[in-house]
């Protein structure tokens, strides 16, 4: 390996620049529903994580898995893929035990595991709750911790303390914090548009269609290219016409 290539690999700035570009490409892919862009961005983030392997690198690698999985990109839907994300996040936390965002995303993945594996549901549900608690203990002003826990609460049956009514307070708290700028932490900036859509989803689940419509419209006012928000709004409008 030549000296220039070695210095490039060992330097933090080129790696962070690559992550910056890759995260922008991933966000654009999410907004436009472009799976190829998401996969391409993920591959570059994975490269950085394999070469450098810092706490933030491993977190962003897991974030890439989150996007691939939730966007239902083909070839990235196996349960083992979730296990990989959990492994990377647990490793990230070992490197940086105060990493609130890593705990929050870990709580989300544990929640996914609980939903996908009924036999282990109780175990993963507890792990999910513990991870969210840690996330907020590390940083009570982390909007992604509130947002992701809101998603978990939304899909938790009412009999177990969940449901859309309870999820609303988490989404509203998260959005208040996003508006105050707490969601921008270096390379970690994602979550606000997603949270705005989930606010609408919670309202829909409560049959509050006007409130849901307003949530989707507001999302599109700020993020006009967000395809998911447009899809949800169009579906609401179609219900109205019927």
Domains present along the chain, CATH in parentheses: 9-135 (1.25.40.10), 141-242 (1.25.40.10)
pLDDT at residue number 239: 75
Most confident residue range from 76-85, 151-160, 175-184: 175-184
pLDDT digits (tens, 9 = 90+) for 9-21: 445 578 899 999 9
Q: What digits encode the pLDDT tens for the residues 201-241?
A: 999 999 999 999 999 999 999 999 999 999 999 999 887 66
DSSP H or E run through 56: helix 55-70
Residues 160/33, Cβ–Cβ less than 8 Å: no
pLDDT for residue 242 is more than 70: no
pLDDT value at position 77?
78
Residue ranges of alpha helices (H) inside 117-208 are 121-138, 143-154, 164-179, 192-205
At 75 the pLDDT is 80
The pTM assigned to this predicted structure is 0.90
Nearest 10 degrees: Cα torsion 193, 199, 201, 207: -150
CA–CA dist 235, 128 (Å, integer) = 31
pLDDT tens per residue across span 35-67? 999 999 999 999 999 999 999 999 999 999 999
Residue 182 DSSP symbol? T
DSSP-derived letter for residue 52 is T
Which tokens belong to 51? 């070469």
Is residue 5 scored above 50 in pLDDT? no
């Amino acid at each position: 390996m030549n000296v220039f290539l070695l210095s490039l690999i060992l330097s933090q700035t080129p790696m962070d620049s690559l992550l910056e570009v890759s995260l922008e490409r991933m966000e654009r892919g999410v907004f436009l529903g472009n799976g190829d862009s998401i996969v391409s961005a993920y591959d570059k983030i994975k490269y950085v994580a394999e070469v450098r392997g810092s706490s933030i690198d491993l977190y962003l690698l897991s974030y890439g898995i989150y996007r691939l999985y939730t966007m239902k990109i083909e070839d990235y839907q196996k349960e083992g893929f979730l296990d990989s994300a959990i492994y990377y996040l647990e490793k990230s936390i070992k490197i940086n035990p105060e990493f609130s965002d890593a705990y929050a995303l870990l709580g989300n993945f544990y929640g996914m595991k609980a939903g996908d594996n009924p036999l282990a549901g109780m175990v993963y549900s507890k792990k999910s709750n513990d991870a969210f608690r840690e996330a907020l203990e590390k940083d009570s002003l982390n909007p992604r911790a509130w947002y992701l826990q809101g998603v978990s609460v939304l899909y938790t049956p009412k009999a177990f303390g969940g449901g859309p009514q309870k999820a609303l307070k988490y989404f509203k708290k998260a959005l208040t914090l996003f508006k105050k700028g707490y969601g921008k932490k270096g390379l970690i900036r994602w979550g606000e548009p997603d949270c705005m859509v989930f606010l609408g989803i919670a309202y829909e689940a409560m049959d509050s269609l006007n409130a849901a419509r307003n949530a989707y419209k507001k999302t599109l006012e700020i993020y006009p290219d967000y395809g998911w928000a447009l899809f949800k709004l169009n579906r609401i409008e179609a219900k109205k016409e019927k």
